[in-house]
Amino acid sequence: MSREVSADFKDLVNFIEKYDLSPLISNRDFIKVLSEQHKKFFSYLTFLAEISTLANDHTIKPNIGSKQLEFIIESCSDVANALFVMTHGAYKPARMMLRSSIETFLKGFNLDELTDLDKEKSVYAIFDRVYTLPFFIEEPKKTLIDSIHNDYKLLCLDTHTATSVNMQQITALKYFPTFNSTEASRISEILMRLVSSFITLLCIKYNSHYHRMHHRNKEIIIESIPKQYRQVVYGIKD
């Protein structure tokens, strides 16, 4: 190892030893975007914790398969990763993790009807196949999948670095941790919209599971569902 590389590595170790997120806590905007994302993420976690205990109960129809559950849990994990790197100021990786959460959600949600969907490599092909399912023809399910699709196309701009807006151009690790209200709010809006759509679709499809959940957990989940869709989840008809 050259002297220059060795010296820079020592600087890296020193940077890691002193790394501290606490200065960001005093920023009200930081707390705001963290809080709103946490609320959605906690609802998603709560839903998965509940449905995991019911997954093997075949008296409930439709039942969720173990492989489906794995993909949906991975979707939640992707959201967690997006939230985590966002707190450090790594905005492009956060958006890329949200893009991944869409792919894993779609596979898990639809694997019971499209049994080879997990083998599909193209997410655009996944959307094409998902749109053929009768489940997504009716409202509000069509609107929800359209919303997810629109966010996917938006997040693809980051993956393909479409414009300077989709770049972050980090040239030194000392940039982290950082907070940019505009960038963080942009991520927060997408995360909240996506997770709301995920949870709403899950509650509609696995409605019988939802109604068997603990009442406190049902309250946590319903808070993350847009008000215009709550009657559908409650099973109330106009």
99-112 residue pLDDT tens: 999 999 999 999 99
Q: How confident is the model at residue 11 (pLDDT cuts 50, 70, 90)?
A: confident
Give a yes or no: residue 12 inside a domain. no
Mean pLDDT of 70-81: 97
For the chain, how many structural domains are there in total?
1
Which has the minimum average pLDDT: 44-53, 61-70, 125-134, 203-212? Answer: 61-70
Q: Is the pLDDT of residue 76 over 70?
A: yes
- Which one has a higher pLDDT value, 94 or 54? 94
Give a yes or no: residue 14 inside a domain. no
What is the number of other CB atoms lying within 10 angstroms of the CB of residue 94?
28
Q: Is the pLDDT of residue 123 over 50?
A: yes
| pLDDT, mean over the chain | 91
Give a yes or no: residue 3 inside a domain. no
* Angle at the Cα of 113 from the Cα atoms of 111 and 215, rounded to 5 degrees: 70
- Which of 13, 43, 24 lies closest to 224, judged by CA? 43
Q: How confident is the model at residue 158 (pLDDT cuts 50, 70, 90)?
A: low
Q: How confident is the model at residue 166 (pLDDT cuts 50, 70, 90)?
A: very low
| 17-28 tens-digit pLDDT | 998 999 999 999
Give a yes or no: residue 43 inside a domain. yes
Give a yes or no: residue 8 inside a domain. no
pTM of the model: 0.91
Q: What is the pLDDT of residue 162?
A: 46
Q: What is the pLDDT of residue 201?
A: 98
Mean pLDDT of 132-152: 97
- Which one has a higher pLDDT value, 161 or 58? 58
Do 194 and 101 contact (CB within 8 A), yes or no? Answer: yes
Q: What is the pLDDT of residue 173?
A: 66
Give a yes or no: residue 11 inside a domain. no
- Which one has a higher pLDDT value, 16 or 151? 151
DSSP state of 213: S
- The amino acid at residue 6 is S
Give a yes or no: residue 198 inside a domain. yes
Give a yes or no: residue 19 inside a domain. no
Do 8 and 16 contact (CB within 8 A), yes or no? Answer: no
Q: What is the pLDDT of residue 9?
A: 87
Q: Helices (DSSP H) in the chain: which residue ranges? A: 3-18, 28-54, 66-88, 91-110, 123-130, 141-159, 181-205, 207-211, 215-222, 227-234
| 170-202 tens-digit pLDDT | 556 677 889 999 999 999 999 999 999 999 999
Residues of the chain with pLDDT > 70, as a percent, come to: 92
167: containing domain? 24-234
Do 230 and 222 contact (CB within 8 A), yes or no? Answer: yes
